[in-house]
Structure 1
């Protein structure tokens, strides 16, 4: 038995499961980011049955009008260029006033979720019909890395006993299969973005997403989609200005309110941002919603954007290590941990006082997260890393999600401790948790996973 067969045997039989018509849709901004990243792929079937291929995903629109400009699509061999609008529901086209707004006249595709009960007709102000694409629940679930069905009401702990009774070799086999399954899904997601844009764009987005762990993954991803690596120059000050300005962190008075030793740096940022501001500044309504409260100083979005700007200056060296054959986790971690910056090696935020002690621009734990969630999966997929080499890497840090997962499956952190020491084991537990558990800890009385464990060999 392998992990894929286990999933198939559990979810496909006619068991007593609740099935939802559509997973709870994330905010519209996240749906737009998923679309632009290529998470849904590029080949679709339109509402009217015609085949659609996205030739070019376009660019984020920083002004009024549709979400993406300069896009290109192919419908049954006919090529169209123009804008793409993404809405949570097909009904939003009318309710948002797009049908009478001249700014939407050049729209060539309307993408929506949550199919309505009534028929919709998407048209422009001059009554031209716009092709409609409805993203299915399965496509959304895959893009969100969610199981396509949700488990029935569950009780925490029904798999505790079978997992404890499993022979160690059987449990090792289960975790290896789950880790491999998770890596394959992550590699597929990375390659979707690479196919939609470029390998550098996919690597830049993956790195930004990792830097956003702790509540800012989506804002970081939106930031680099709007300020892509292809548009950032080799000049450090310009790169920093574009990233911090596009993020919405700069204003003309910032340097006046800051500690004296940071004023020159902030003034330079603002002066450089002012030169490129018209090309990069999004309207206020489309600025990322940054999480700044309740953050550890090391996780503050100012620091994470700072780390990203430093990395851009070392992009060729970083790219070489990230895509190396064979891929070396240690080489990449040492490189990232060794990055330095005159300002960010001693400041937590744009306006914080200087720290006497040096601060890592890109910490080792964060570097390991980047490898585990993006670079190792890609390297495994491309045969640049063998699983035994993945298996040997240890990672002592555990976040809240991993702790919840460990307690759910093993009953306590102490019991789970032997299975929390390796990167591959951590990823495997997260995958099992994602595939078979709900975070509400309700009732898993009817879940077949514990019984299936007895058959694992």
Structure 2
């Protein structure tokens, strides 16, 4: 027996709900099954049950064996104090919460074992992707699951941003500031860019936005990367600005070792990315947000500015390139910013304020942008999945990480369809 199968049985209500009896002989009436919890904590939230003529509201926890409660250490976690029902396949030990025996439902006598055998057959361990034939045959089902995966991804990120929002005294611009920096960092330098956004608030940068070199000095100086710059008229001037601004604002410097260069393409070296971000901030000044997705071109104009010629022959402060290169952010790189900063910001604000307009704007931005290009997206293409926009690629990245890679087939519409057709 697998715990995820118990989750599936409970969520899909594949139980004789009129005949359920607890291990102590008392009848159980399920009024509401609750919502599956995808994070840490009890498995189902907000269930409602009738036990001994009393109505109980709270959480439900599930295990293969009841003794798993103690093996998993739940007795030491106050998060589990509000569990009102323990659902197990095998009852082998009584569980006590706050000195009271936890009501327990043993499923052994209620499960359809033929159905469980079908589950084991359909989702064999040795198959890389059991649903692959369905990806080409049932486009509607794939579309529905893509929508589920997209919501899962952006709702997950919404929860992560809530703490940023609270730390910023519920300042939406500071959240966008954080997202903007994070998106410029990419996968490898995401964390140091987040730290830089906390050292330099958007208000501080706007005070100096009248001079691009002062903003460059603030950002490169605070990053700790400016300290390694060799003598050059451009870098010497940046250092002069930095020494003054550091004292003026009482700023700290990050340690240069926080930044990663290995495994990063030269065009994505943090020095150049910081400069590109500084120029975008000075051009944009946090003033304009597109209220229609076709206004993105107005934001694209803000990426065009006169970046110092120094960066036409440098990707970092450490070496000079013989061949000149483009110093501006490419359109493909701009798309990454639109996806990971602006679309996510609209989703966050829409969820916080309950504004459907913002949520739709987030989706419109993604639907307008071309698909992302990476190895995971390429795998989905080869499996026969139609990919038309960044909306699809964002959803499929989530599908790969949080459904397919960890075999959460029972939480996927495609997996549920396959199992129901086998039962």
What is the deviation of 1:183? 2.5
Work out which of the residue numbers 296, 317, 322 in structure 2 matches 1:330.
296
Contact 1:302 / 1:350 at 8 angstroms: preserved in 2?
Answer: yes
1:183 partnered with 2:154: yes
CA gap of 1:168–1:204, structure 2 versus 1, over 3 A, is same
Q: Secondary structure in 2 aligned to 1:255?
A: coil
CA gap of 1:16–1:46, structure 2 versus 1, over 3 A, is closer
Q: Secondary structure in 1 aligned to 2:328?
A: coil
Contact 1:223 / 1:247 at 8 angstroms: preserved in 2?
Answer: yes
CA gap of 1:280–1:427, structure 2 versus 1, over 3 A, is same
Task: Decide which structure has the larger Cα Rg and report it.
Answer: 2
Unaligned runs of 5+ in 1: 23-44, 50-151, 257-262
1:209 partnered with 2:182: yes
Work out which of the residue numbers 301, 304, 308 in structure 2 matches 1:342.
308
Aligned to 2:143: 172
Aligned to 1:200: 173
Q: Distance in 2 between matches of 1:353 and 1:372?
A: 32
Unaligned runs of 5+ in 2: 1-10, 13-34, 45-60, 82-122
What is the deviation of 1:376? 1.7
Aligned to 1:280: 251
Contact 1:178 / 1:432 at 8 angstroms: preserved in 2?
Answer: yes
In terms of fraction of residues, the more helix-rich structure is: 2
Contact 2:293 / 2:365 at 8 angstroms: preserved in 1?
Answer: no
What is the deviation of 1:184? 3.1
Q: Secondary structure in 1 aligned to 2:258?
A: coil
TM-score, normalisation: structure 1: 0.56
CA gap of 1:357–1:277, structure 2 versus 1, over 3 A, is same
Q: Which aligned runs of 4 or more in structure 1 are off by greater than 6 angstroms?
A: 15-22, 445-448
Contact 1:215 / 1:291 at 8 angstroms: preserved in 2?
Answer: yes
Number of aligned residue pairs: 304
What is the deviation of 1:359? 1.4
The higher relative CO (CA closer than 8 Å, separation ≥ 6) is in: 1
Encode CA deviations 1:146-174: one digit per residue, 9 max, x unaligned.
xxxxxx99656234435425521221122
What is the deviation of 1:360? 4.6
Encode CA deviations 1:26-71: one digit per residue, 9 max, x unaligned.
xxxxxxxxxxxxxxxxxxx999x9xxxxxxxxxxxxxxxxxxxxxx
TM-score, normalisation: structure 2: 0.60
CA gap of 1:378–1:205, structure 2 versus 1, over 3 A, is closer
Contact 2:214 / 2:241 at 8 angstroms: preserved in 1?
Answer: yes
CA gap of 1:229–1:390, structure 2 versus 1, over 3 A, is closer
What is the deviation of 1:241? 1.3
Q: Distance in 1 between matches of 2:202 and 2:331?
A: 23
What is the deviation of 1:332? 5.3
1:221 partnered with 2:203: no
1:71-220 map, 5 Å: 155=126, 157-161=128-132, 163-164=134-135, 166-190=137-161, 192-197=163-168, 198-220=171-193
Greater shift in the superposed pair: 307-316 or 218-227:
307-316
